[in-house]
Amino acid sequence: MHLKKLLASLIFTTGFLIPGSIDAQQKNNIVVNAGRSIATVQPTMWGIFFEDINLGADGGIYAELVKNRSFEFYMPLMGWTVKEDKINEGSVMVLNRQEENIANPRFACISKKEAGNSLSITNEGFRGMGIKKQLRYDFSVMYRQHAPGLTMHIELLNGSGKTIGNAVVTPSSDTVKEWKKAAVSFVASDTALRGKLRIRFEGTGVIDLDMISLFPADTWKQRPGGMRADMIQMLADMKPGFIRFPGGCIVEGHDLAVRYQWKKTIGPVEDRQLIINRWNSEFAHRPTPDYFQTFGLGFYEYFQLAEDIGAEPLPILNAGMACQFNTAELVPIDQLDPYVQDALDLVEFANGDTNTKWGKFRANMGHPAPFNLKMMGVGNENWGPQYVERLKIFTKALKARYPDLKLVNSSGTDPNGERFDYLNGELRKMNADIIDEHYYRRPEWFLANANRYDNYPRNGPKVFAGEYAAQSDKTVSINNRNNAQTAIAEAAFMTGLERNAAVVNLASYAPLFAHVDGWQWTPDLIWVNNLQSYGTPNYYVQKLYSTNKGTDVVPALLDGKAVAGQDSLYASAVVDKNKRELIIKIVNASQKERMSPISIEGINKIPSEAMLTVLQSNHLHDVNSFDKPQNVAPKESTIALKGKTLNFMAAPNSFSIIRIKI
């Protein structure tokens, strides 16, 4: 009832508002009562889910341009081309130091005996390298030198092989026994969408190379070795309430050996042990044999990202189970301890004092202040009694040490059916904090389920709509599009999430990013190539909800009922106590204009105009693209208000937001 208090205080000072005014509801009007808070909107309500799929991390937000920089891919020279005038066997060898360095065993040994014989290695990048004219590029390499004498010419090439940037690295003139870092920066003279990096060796000598790296200078917050700024900016613009990471199925792995282990993703990047990305071979129609996780983007960076964009971090940990679509490997219950310990240690890493083991680790990485972790997921899409059995052990240990930590639990892969019913029942018996529900369904499902949560119990576990996306075709099909129809269907469904903010505390679309030349899954919220990124219509829907989140849900009713599909209309409303605004969301999912009069209750004096934002397209199949990134995008205008009833005309296939100052 905070809202009532605020409204009461406003009456006292301005005389504008009448809380709880109960004018008779007009038939066929959507009646919005701005004076009656029916639920608090959690700050976490609209968030994002980041998974390293579709080249989301390596080749995506992690701005490293060199693929297979440490020669650890299964094919150690994948991504590299060796060229020499006269072939000398053994001029480029990959050596494996095995136990001496388990995290990063391989390196390349370059041996050049004839000064006149040209020798180079070229890296193709992740589907090429995006190079920008006039931008600085930072090259670095770890090296050991057995016989001095080689000079390295670092050359950026455009798609036609023309040099568009170069620098020289002259290693020490002595033998170098310990690994040493050399770095050089240079400016690119031209732009290239699919550039390459060539290292040309001049002179004679023998040198070992590892961690060959190239980063643009314009990373997010200009952090060296950081993230791609345009992609992160798109996330920051959404003002997400939380970020769920790192997955998704990559948390589980094909098998347990390649599950995600956060402790292997922190510390110096050269010590982070690479593993295969489980999306590498998941779909026969989209094989991605060069997809690995180098973990240059690891848990420290995820926490930092969350902090940067003002989102609550929501890490998801492996529950002792590999992906049940793949091997379904399980850790025997009596061997679950290390997994549980990882979860306990993660809280210490995020929040612990700097004199604790993991708090100190965080501080040494550059963040002495805690990251304020409040939520953690145990398991991604796990199901069955095996999950419940393991989850109980995690829950007991985590709650004993951290009673305030909120745990997110899986309800499986689908929003209904036997698996869901079983888990939903079990988790409710366990009094779970938050249940994670996933729905990848056709647009019609989203429209028909806008009232899904209207009758969910208000007490007991909260819901996290953790992964959802309307599918225009089969999931992962090449014809599955982020089009206007799917965006509008999601917007309609989300009125139901918002209306039920008393139950639904978090929601996020999935997946977040896709590289046009390297995707495995469709549809995806944001599409990128090596230089550009654009938001789909679905992105704008997510952003509009998140940036119009409000603080309190207020009733928006048609004939006393939730507006959830009558005449293809969907509506919800919130008040933002801080901005002093009433925000009404209306979706018209039909192909025809719909007159939808709105009566506003609970406000005595209605201002003469309101802000209107509309996302609309007459063609259900309309999409955005690199050429037309704003083809289906929100447009802003003002509308005149006269009295308490607004004769609102909802355009066909549209999502409208009306903001009224109160």
Q: Contact positions toward ligand AHR, by CB under 6 A? A: 51, 53, 247-249, 380-381, 413, 467, 510-511, 521
Q: Closest separation between CB of residue 579 and ligand AHR, Å?
A: 33
Q: Which is nearer to ligand AHR, 67 or 244 (CB)?
A: 244
Q: Of the candidates 193, 189, 169, 173, which has an alpha carbon nearest to the alpha carbon of residue 181?
A: 169
Q: Of the candidates 317, 201, 202, 188, which has an alpha carbon nearest to the alpha carbon of residue 252?
A: 317
Please report which residue ranges of 93-246 form alpha helices under DSSP H: 229-238
Q: Closest separation between CB of residue 244 and ligand AHR, Å?
A: 10
Spatial separation of the C-alpha atoms in residues 30 and 427, rounded to whole Å: 37
The distance from CA 199 to its chain's CA centroid, rounded to whole angstroms, is: 34
Please say whether the beta carbons of 307 and 232 come within 8 A: no
Q: Which is nearer to ligand AHR, 52 or 155 (CB)?
A: 52
Provide the β-strand partners of residue 572. 585
Q: Closest separation between CB of residue 529 and ligand AHR, Å?
A: 21
Q: Closest separation between CB of residue 424 and ligand AHR, Å?
A: 17
Spatial separation of the C-alpha atoms in residues 616 and 220, rounded to whole Å: 32
Please report which residue ranges of 333-383 form alpha helices under DSSP H: 337-351, 357-364
Spatial separation of the C-alpha atoms in residues 445 and 448, rounded to whole Å: 5
Start-to-end CA span in the chain (Å): 17
Residue 160: count other Cβ atoms within 10 Å of its Cβ.
Answer: 7
What would the 3-class secondary structure string for 287-340 be? CCCCCEECCCCCHHHHHHHHHHCCCEEEEEECCCECCCCCCCCECCHHHCHHHH
Residue nearest to ligand AHR (CB): 248
Residue 74: count other Cβ atoms within 10 Å of its Cβ.
Answer: 11
381 is catalytic: yes
Q: Closest separation between CB of residue 250 and ligand AHR, Å?
A: 7
Q: Is 448 exposed, middle or buried (0-12, 13-18, 19+ CB in 10 A)?
A: middle
Q: Which of 312, 348, 381, 581 is catalytic?
A: 381
Q: Which is nearer to ligand AHR, 248 or 634 (CB)?
A: 248
Q: Closest separation between CB of residue 440 and ligand AHR, Å?
A: 7
Please say whether the beta carbons of 152 and 185 come within 8 A: no
Q: Closest separation between CB of residue 47 and ligand AHR, Å?
A: 14
Q: Which is nearer to ligand AHR, 247 or 537 (CB)?
A: 247
Q: Closest separation between CB of residue 467 and ligand AHR, Å?
A: 5
| Angle subtended by helix axes 384-401 and 337-351, to nearest 10 | 40
DSSP structure class, residue 221: G
Q: Is 135 exposed, middle or buried (0-12, 13-18, 19+ CB in 10 A)?
A: middle
Please say whether the beta carbons of 600 and 32 come within 8 A: yes
Residues catalogued as catalytic? 381
